[in-house]
Amino acid sequence: MAFRGIYPAPKLVPSPVGLFSVADVMTHTARGYDERWIRGFAHEYDSRPTVRILTVNDETVTGGEIYDGSYGSNYQDYTPFFIEVEDLSSTFDLPGEDRFSKVLAQLEAASQKAAELELWDGVAAQAEATTNPYLTKTGAATEVSNGVHNASEALYLLEGALAESPIGANGVIHMTRDVASLLGSRLIYVPGSDDKKARVMTRLGTDVIIGSGYSGNGPVGDGAATASLTNKWMFATGPVSVHLSKPEVVNDSLAQGANVSINDMLIKAVRAAAVYFDPSCHYSAQVTLPSVA
């Protein structure tokens, strides 16, 4: 039979309004001095100073203290996690295919979703019992109002809660794709360009992360924490930061990934990652979604 030809797979493109569209993303090299953070690091934040109003005579006034920052530390310890991608295919697949380039592209595309899952549910943080922050961490988020709200109510409650930032800094609102779809014109989509990524924001200009890796779960330990088709949670935090190491193929050679007994080939790629947010704001809201028959 004549060779019919093969068209390449479509380019892997992560969600345009996910975590990496809003977070401060730092991509590290593979040089030794730039990989020390993988063993753990501390991140600083300057968002909780003491803020007060004084008279012209430098005297305090009743009700003039906006925030008392005289206690607590200005840094948090963080333990990174790893993101791994495996590509399993037959040894009879395309003989000219660059399997290493393929798995590296898969890892690059999947990194955002994996980091979103860790930011929301802290699956690695819980497994290792680290002090890493994540959205659903037990007792970390303040619920803006007891009870269940529709998506619009939850949005304005979280916007109002962000005003409690000690210095009035802009924050970030986190939600799942279904919740974002319900909000419609209450969110503004800003298309990307050659040098800027597409973004979503509220009418007040608050950045919104709509994560494909966000589970929608609520705070761990809450009786209604488990997400469902009609029960989700939203969060508001301070600015978000991400660290990513250079992607690396685990296999030294194609032969190392081959299982000749069944003619399969397994190629792996991995990278270290970290994702955290400024803790000066951390609020939650439970959202009810309409039931669809």
pLDDT tens-digit series, residues 74-100: 889 999 999 999 988 765 565 556 788
pLDDT in tens, 106-123: 999 999 999 999 999 999
Are the C-beta atoms of 244 and 273 separated by less than 8 Å?
Answer: yes
What is the percent of the chain where pLDDT is above 90? 69
CA distance 268 to 115: 18
The secondary structure element, H or E, covering residue 123 is helix 123-128
| Res. 257 pLDDT band, cuts 50 70 90 | low
Which among 261, 238, 293, 266 is positioned nearest to 47, based on CA atoms?
238
Which among 91, 123, 154, 106 is positioned nearest to 9, based on CA atoms?
106
Query: Residue 252 above 80 pLDDT?
Result: no
- Torsion angle (degrees, nearest 10) of CA 158, 163, 164, 165: 110
CA distance 168 to 109: 34
Predicted confidence at residue 159, as pLDDT, reads: 96
pLDDT in tens, 2-52: 666 677 778 888 889 999 999 999 999 877 666 789 999 999 988 889 999
DSSP, res 10? P
| Whole-number average pLDDT of the chain | 90
The secondary structure element, H or E, covering residue 81 is strand 81-90
Predicted confidence at residue 95, as pLDDT, reads: 59
Average pLDDT of span 139-158: 95
Strand pairing of 207-210 and 199-202?
A: antiparallel
Q: Which token pair is 173?
A: 């609102």
Predicted confidence at residue 110, as pLDDT, reads: 97
Predicted confidence at residue 243, as pLDDT, reads: 96
Reduced to 3 states (helix: H, G, I; strand: E, B; else coil), residue 39 is helix
CA distance 142 to 164: 11
The two most distant CA atoms of the chain are separated, in Å, by 94
Residue recorded with tokens 């088709």: 229
The long-range contacts involving 140-147, CB below 8 angstroms and separated by at least 24 positions, are 140/219, 140/279, 140/282, 141/219, 141/235, 141/282, 141/283, 141/284, 142/282, 142/283, 142/284, 143/219, 143/283, 143/284, 143/285, 143/286, 144/283, 144/284, 144/285, 145/285, 147/286
Predicted confidence at residue 91, as pLDDT, reads: 57
Are the C-beta atoms of 227 and 215 separated by less than 8 Å?
Answer: yes
| Res. 196 pLDDT band, cuts 50 70 90 | confident
Average pLDDT of span 245-262: 71
For the four alpha carbons of 261, 267, 272 and 277, in that order, the dihedral sign comes to negative
CB atoms within 10 A of CB 241: 17
CA distance 223 to 226: 8
CA distance 84 to 19: 18
CA distance 54 to 56: 7
| Res. 126 pLDDT band, cuts 50 70 90 | very high
pLDDT in tens, 197-245: 999 999 999 999 999 999 999 999 999 999 999 999 999 999 999 999 9
Looking at per-residue pLDDT, the higher value among 160 and 257 belongs to 160
CA distance 185 to 208: 13
Looking at per-residue pLDDT, the higher value among 252 and 108 belongs to 108
What is the percent of the chain where pLDDT is above 70? 90
